[in-house]
Amino acid sequence: MSSEVGAVAVLSDVHGVLPVLDAVLAEPDVVSADLVVVTGDHAAGPQPVEVLDRLRSLGERAVLVRGNADRELVDLARGGTTDIPDPVAPWAAAQLRPDDVALLAGLPHPVELTVRGFGRVVFCHGTPRDDEEVVLVDSSLERWADVLGGLDPDVTTVVMGHTHMPFVRLADRRLCVNPGSVGMPYGRAGGSWALLRDGQVELRHTPVDVEATVAAVAAGSTYPGAEEWAREYVTSANSDADALRAFGPRDGRPQPDLIREGIDQVIHDHLRTRPKMKGRLRQHGLTRRVDELMDGFGE
């Protein structure tokens, strides 16, 4: 699409949860938006076919972007394997009809649109170059520069999903937006989404009756673990802090626990190979011990 579009509602990570998708799509600003862009991971969940049918019903207003889970569902549906730990993925892949598989297989990544008030906007799942790559609200500027380095300078805005947590931030003058997740939110139950309109970004949240939604997912799915799955993910049992701890190692940041483990290993090896050092280390304590080992690293 090369022509300029007006208001864009951005959804992401529906993960096969129809009741929350329906609640978000019923929002007046979503209904009136020129386009509804969904930035990936549409169907890997307990109601995959129902969600794809609902997205199809939007017709040309819907712009679907490929997510890593969409790609993995296609692989599974075509007889492949995956290392996805959630057992709902193989089940969801088995439910897909041939036209569903074809739809997911043909999804683009990334997608670029010209949006009024923003100019060129790239919509992706993980990052523009990789649907599984992770960037977070607190990722370093160096990390952002790396993952966005392949974009033309006049791409003013990047909208991504994948990490299920909403944020808006600048990364060296480029506006970066994550609308959060519709079906698997971390930190706050309900459907998170974003509105791009007249050069302004609004993070939006659609509240739902959580218990009624869990019941609706369980009743509307043949997945054997549907209620348990919904109780974990629809209720946002996993907090944003949990998610940041889980995703953090994947954005290239130093990991304090790994540093400590490495120091412990070096200390262990030193003491094992140099028994006479034990007495000196007991006398001088942890600080002196680490200093001595750090000096050794510099040799």
The chain-wide mean pLDDT, for the chain, equals 88
Between 120 and 273, where is the model more confident?
A: 120
In 3D space, the residue among 284, 290, 285 whose CA is nearest the CA of residue 267 turns out to be 290
The strand pairing partners of 8, in sequence order, are: 35, 196
Which of 79-88, 159-168, 179-188, 262-271 has the least mean pLDDT? Answer: 262-271
Residue with tokens 């003013």: 156
- Where residue 257 falls among pLDDT bands split at 50, 70, 90? low
| Distant-in-sequence, close-in-space partners of 137: CB < 8 Å, separation ≥ 6 | 165, 167, 169, 178
In what helix (H) or strand (E) does residue 113 lie, and over which residues does it extend? strand 111-115
Q: Where are the alpha helices (DSSP H) in the chain?
A: 18-25, 28-31, 48-56, 68-77, 88-95, 98-105, 141-147, 210-219, 226-233, 240-247, 256-273, 277-297
pLDDT at 277 over 70: no
Among 180, 226, 154, 210, which residue's Cα sits nearest to residue 39?
180
Q: What's the pLDDT at 260?
A: 53
- Identify the pLDDT of residue 252: 85
pLDDT of residue 65: 98
Place of tokens 């609004």: 202
- Output the pLDDT for position 265: 57
The per-residue pLDDT for range 182-219, each reduced to its tens digit, is 999 999 999 999 999 999 999 999 999 999 999 999 99
Q: Say how far apart CA 114 and CA 62 lie, in whole Å.
A: 15
- Is the separation of the CB atoms in 167 and 107 below 8 Å? no
> Cis omega (within 30 of 0) on the bond before 110?
yes
pTM of the model: 0.84
Task: Give me the amino acid identity at 48.
Answer: P
- Cα-based distances in Å from 128 to 116, 124, 135: 21, 5, 11
Rg (CA), the chain: 23
Name the more confident of 187 and 267. Answer: 187
CA atoms within 13 A on the CB side of 53: 8
End-to-end CA distance of the chain: 58
Tens of pLDDT, residue by residue over 41-92, are 999 999 999 999 999 999 999 999 999 999 999 999 999 988 767 799 999 9
**Which residue(s) pair with 97 in the sheet?**
none
Look at residue 264 and tell me whether its pLDDT is greater than 80. no
